[in-house]
Amino acid sequence: MREIVLDTETTGFEPSEGHRIVEIGAVELYNHVPTGKVYHQYINPQRPMPEEAFAVHGLGDDFLKDKPVFKLIGQEFLDFVGDAPMVIHNAAFDMKFLNAELGWMKAPTLPDAQAIDTLLIARRRFPGAPASLDALCRRFGIDNSMREKHGALLDSEILAEVYLELIGGRQPGFSLDTRRGAAGGDGGEPAWRPGPRAKPLASRVTEAEKAAHDTFIEGLGPEALWAQMR
């Protein structure tokens, strides 16, 4: 299965207010493994860069003035993505900008269903916990020390690592063979998945250990979290 992990940088928050994309970075995964293929493009927004946006990504007017405008690279971007699912952190933001830019050049837009939002996945897995890219890097022990400012390609590379952790680690489903046509790939058999045991394993906790644990929990008082979960 081919997936594209993607990030953009922009001049602001709303394309309806004249803001534009200034950078796209994307990383190709195949069966959840990076292939080494990437797409990276800086884009001339044809408007001044607000100071607030410059503080986030460091892309200024002088740097962007000789870069291509979006309509010159839009088809190349679409060709790279194809019909692959796009893994995006806060997908609604990036999809809003991508489809605005594609609409302005009268190109086909991308269906929202093509996007996988890692922000929503993280919030479902860790309700109430911080779900920013930096917070998820801390949670999973992913090195993001090079991320002094936002950058679309670097952020997509980091997001690829975060995404693999969010879906269960680098080999979700225990499908270790990443070749095309292997089990779980595009070539045939479904990936193997473990089934339930015919007979559950017996508990190895003794009655004395259970009693000691119950005594310990009671000693914590009724307000203790463990006591409330019994």
DSSP labels, 110-142: PPGGGEEEHHHHHHHHSTTS--SHHHHHHHHT-
b/e per residue 175-184 (b: at least 16 CB within 10 A): beeeeeebeb
Shared domain check, 144 and 66 = yes
| 40 in active site | no
Inform me whether the pLDDT recorded for 217 exceeds 80: no
The average pLDDT across 85-95 equals: 98
Position 87 scores a pLDDT of 98
Shared domain check, 222 and 127 = no
Residue 187 lies in a domain: no
**CATH number of 66's domain:** 3.30.420.10
Q: How many structural domains comprise the chain?
A: 2
CA distance 108 to 99: 8
Query: What pairing do the DSSP bridges indicate for beta strands 86-88 and 33-42?
Result: unpaired
The average pLDDT across 31-54 equals: 96
183 vs 160: which has the higher pLDDT = 160
Shared domain check, 224 and 145 = no
Proportion of the chain above pLDDT 90, given as a percent: 69
Residue 185 lies in a domain: no
* CB-based contact 54:28 (threshold 8 Å): no
Shared domain check, 210 and 96 = no
- Nearest CA to 105 out of 130, 59, 72 is that of 72
pLDDT band for position 182 (cuts 50, 70, 90): very low
148 vs 203: which has the higher pLDDT = 203
Question: 106-111: long-range contacts (C-beta < 8 A, 24 or more apart)?
Answer: 107/74, 107/75, 107/78, 108/78, 110/81, 110/86
Shared domain check, 100 and 35 = yes
pLDDT tens by residue, 47-57:
999 999 999 99
The average pLDDT across 108-123 equals: 97
Question: Rounded to 5 degrees, what angle do the CA atoms 137, 140, 143 make?
Answer: 50
Shared domain check, 230 and 154 = no
Q: Which domain holds residue 210?
A: 204-230
Position 175 scores a pLDDT of 41
Position 216 scores a pLDDT of 77
Q: Which residue has the tokens 């930096």?
A: 134
Residue 216 lies in a domain: yes
* CB-based contact 42:30 (threshold 8 Å): no
Active-site residue among 19, 32, 57, 150?
150
Q: Which residue has the tokens 């991508």?
A: 98
Shared domain check, 144 and 219 = no
Shared domain check, 225 and 125 = no
CA distance 148 to 151: 9
The average pLDDT across 25-34 equals: 96
Contacts of 127 (CB under 8 A, 6+ apart): none
Shared domain check, 86 and 140 = yes
Shared domain check, 18 and 120 = yes
